[in-house]
Amino acid sequence: MTPRRLYGPVVLVTLAAGGLAFFAAARTWADAKLSSEGLPPSTVGVSGTDAEPLVSALALVVVTAALAVLAAGPRLRRVVGALTMLVSVLAVVVAPPSGSDALDRALRKAAEESPSFTGPESIGDISSTPWYAVTVLAFVVAFLLGAATIRWAGAWPTMGRRYEAPAARAAGTEEVSDSDMWKAMDEGQDPTQ
């Protein structure tokens, strides 16, 4: 498969990885059962976003980076690829794994806000879910796709000149006289391009 054919899949999978990371960060990463005498038992849970809001924000940066690759030229694509790699590494570092202080604090806070909470002894079994691993995996995929973007940015197609700002187009073209415009229209060409 040629690098040119990888353009669409890399952009789409980067977009999907960022979306999956955002989705997974909003799911429950840990939950605890609360039980106290005289009160009905309940379960409280916290998401990755509750424990570390930066994880969701970084997932949105990955989504935005995927969209930026569509509109950028080769040089800017390399910058976007490097940014995607940097953001992915940062997200993996700040994402709180099960048993981390950030996740425990968020779980304790959620438990204290529950009507079934009567004290620290009311917090029972704490269990983890696989959403942390899904989030980290999505950011690892985004990191690899950022590297692919850097590697193949020069071989990927770019948007045509017609999508450039009018000032940028005018700077690169020479002055066209009225008679040249009429001649172009007579020949069936669009004189504005």
Helices 54-71 and 7-25, packing angle to 10 deg:
160
* Range of weakest confidence among 16-25, 99-108, 180-189: 180-189
Q: Indicate if the pLDDT at residue 90 is higher than 60.
A: yes
3-state secondary structure of 32: strand
Say how far apart CA 35 and CA 42 lie, in whole Å. 7
pLDDT digits over 136-183, tens only? 999 999 999 999 999 998 888 887 655 556 665 555 556 667 777 788
Let me know how many helices (H) and strands (E) the chain has, helices first.
8, 3
Strands 42-47 and 123-128: unpaired
Res 38: pLDDT:
74
3-state secondary structure of 29: strand
Res 161: pLDDT:
59
Say how far apart CA 160 and CA 129 lie, in whole Å. 47
Beta strands in 35-189 (DSSP E): 42-47, 123-128
Q: What is the mean pLDDT of residues 127-138?
A: 93
pLDDT digits over 19-75, tens only? 999 999 999 998 888 877 777 778 888 999 999 999 999 999 999 999 999 888 889
Q: Residue count of the chain, please give it.
A: 193
Rg of the Cα trace of the chain?
26
C-beta atoms surrounding 1 within 10 Å: 6
Hey, which residues does 123 pair with through a beta bridge?
34
- For residues 118 and 5, the model is more confident at 5
Res 160: pLDDT:
61
